[in-house]
Structure 1
């Protein structure tokens, strides 16, 4: 039980760390300060953590990483759209 609680707390803290960045990118509609390499590798890594959680049947890993993936998809989408608009 304590292990699961630790997983939930860690998941909440790391997942919601992405929320301010995603909200800022939505609000400003720009992503020039975000590295495409970071965004793509972070998305791939979080997807793999999600898969690992599925294989382990770990609710904290699954839930934290599915929310993080959604936030990263927003960041990645804005980054790709911003990249196309800026010509870089």
Structure 2
């Protein structure tokens, strides 16, 4: 990480995403109010917004990618056992 780059907690990132997703805030408003660049907020929204996978289930892109990675690991492990 660059020396001058800010670090944000997962809770803060989720709070910003939730504010955006509720429709109460736009990217420019969040940028001005919280001092976070629009591109950073956009990345968080992409990674942390829920995606509906069934009537009662949602998953974020970040969670989906983690599940894919775990599935690949398990496939390799399974192949090694056979």
Larger radius of gyration: 2
Q: Which has the higher contact order (CA 8 A, sep 6+)?
A: 1
Which structure has the highest strand share of the two?
2
Do they superpose with TM above 0.5? Answer: no
